[in-house]
Copies of this chain bind each other. A is one copy, B any other.
Amino acid sequence: MQTKKISIVGAGLIGSLLAIYLRKQGHEVTVFERRQDLRKVDISAGKSINLALSDRGWKPLKEVGLEEDLLKMIIPMKGRIMHDKSGQITFQPYGKEGQAINSISRGGLNGLLMDKAETLGVQFKFQYKCLDVDFEQTSLSLYDGKTNQIIKFDLIFGTDGAFSAVRAAMQKLDRFTYSQSYIPHGYKELVIPATETGDFAIDKNGLHIWPRGEYMLIALPNMDGSFTVTLFLPFEGEGYAFESLNTDEEILSFFQEVFPDALKHMPTLLDDFRANPASSLVTVKSYPWIKNNILLLGDAAHAVVPFYGQGMNCGFEDCFELNQTIEKFGDDWATIFKEFNSTRPQNANAIADLALENFVEMRDKVADENFLLRKKIEAHINKLYPKRWIPQYSMVTFNSSISYSKAMAKGKLQRKIMDKVMSSPDITASWKNLDFELLIKELEEN
């Protein structure tokens, strides 16, 4: 194998994991990061504090030897814990017994990846801003706050997030197809602190959801006994919106009316509400991800909304698949890039669309009787035919051998079949008498 001089732009989750993979293959890897070292300075950078790590992310982290460390950092969430308006709680398992998604600290995981990369010999350079990219010379124009230098590499990877500088340079090239689109909702992070005795104030082994149609609150547990709570709300409009929640009274009365049982665990609500920004939610799609010796990965190529919990997992899977492609084609980087670019973008586009769809499901349908029955029937079919009818959520979250595109297509077909099932009269009483074998056949024949 020929050692390459490689640069990675962006030392976030994806850039750091990619650095590990490439360094393990023996390349000389330097990572340039615009911000300070997050292991030394507390910088949230407007990003979510914790995340849900699931199978597609776990697999590559395990592959690079981090499973033992991970196990010390996660809190498994076995299902959705739904809070209705009256304070009633229902639990909906995410998958089968033993399956869970894992709440993990973004900063903690990023630090772990950077430590591992450094141990292997990756160089991290902080506070270097990428100003421009030369796609012919494979060079970066980098600014360290004082001087501007142009450095040449053999290969450059852009993992600098949804507002990527590498992608912005690529966008100026001819025939680069690109879209960024925002939903009308923003999000704001809030807190449910640990109790006085240091315990979790609410059940820690699930992802809490307060679904209220246009408004939604969710909470993920942290290792210190607190929960990071995220409020999703339209920026503007007729009903409650960020623009119309200004005074203490407005904020409190909104929570009292819409999320009363969460409010009682949120003593610092007003301070948190004022301190934290309302951030926007973007979907980014781009194509191609390659130009000559330069490749985009992660959010830089495909940012998604957070409602399927797959942004980070998809980015990690990018790294996993790129690594597989490298192992297949060895030194032939032109073929590696071409191959990766011909298969991966469609999967990233699929999860982007699924994440948008899942917002409607999370905020709306999860509180709906009919929807719960539908899920119950699907779970039953899955129990009868565990490999032949896998619910879409499980395909995406627990079955990394099924691609996002495949999961989307299969899920669509399942929905069509279930629509028909649900429209039959008296389904609530009669569903156990359905001809399940017939449904399976319908799924498999299409």
A174 within 8 A of B: yes
From the candidates B171, B175, B235, name the one contacting A280 in the complex (CB within 8 A).
Answer: B175
CB distance from A147 to the nearest CB of B (A): 20
- Closest residue of chain B to A283 (Cβ to Cβ) is B177
CA distance A266 to B179 in the complex (A): 40
Q: Which residues of B have CB within 8 Å of A177?
A: 180-182
In the complex, per-residue mask of A214-237: 1 if CB is within 8 Å of any chain B CB, else 0: 000000000000000000000100
In the complex, per-residue mask of A154-171: 1 if CB is within 8 Å of any chain B CB, else 0: 000000000000000001
Copies in the complex: 2
Q: Which residues of B have CB within 8 Å of A280?
A: 174-175
CB distance from A297 to the nearest CB of B (A): 21
A371 within 8 A of B: no
CA distance A348 to B179 in the complex (A): 17
CB distance from A37 to the nearest CB of B (A): 26
CA distance A177 to B180 in the complex (A): 6
In the complex, per-residue mask of A121-147: 1 if CB is within 8 Å of any chain B CB, else 0: 000000000000000000000000000
Contact residues on A (Cβ < 8 Å of other chain), bracket: 10 to 19
From the candidates B176, B181, B182, B235, name the one contacting A180 in the complex (CB within 8 A).
Answer: B176
Assess the A181–B182 pair: CB atoms within 8 A.
no
Assess the B178–A179 pair: CB atoms within 8 A.
yes
Assess the A179–B181 pair: CB atoms within 8 A.
yes
Assess the B182–A175 pair: CB atoms within 8 A.
yes
In the complex, per-residue mask of A178-207: 1 if CB is within 8 Å of any chain B CB, else 0: 111110000000000000000000000000
From the candidates B175, B179, B182, name the one contacting A179 in the complex (CB within 8 A).
Answer: B179
CA distance A182 to B175 in the complex (A): 6
Assess the A178–B176 pair: CB atoms within 8 A.
no
- Closest residue of chain B to A163 (Cβ to Cβ) is B172
CA distance A181 to B174 in the complex (A): 10
Residues of chain A touching chain B, judged by Cβ–Cβ distance below 8 Å, are 171, 174-182, 235, 280
Q: With A174-B280, A175-B235, A177-B181 given, name 14 new contacts (CB 8 A).
A: A171-B180, A175-B182, A175-B280, A176-B180, A176-B182, A177-B180, A177-B182, A178-B178, A178-B179, A178-B180, A178-B181, A179-B179, A179-B180, A179-B181
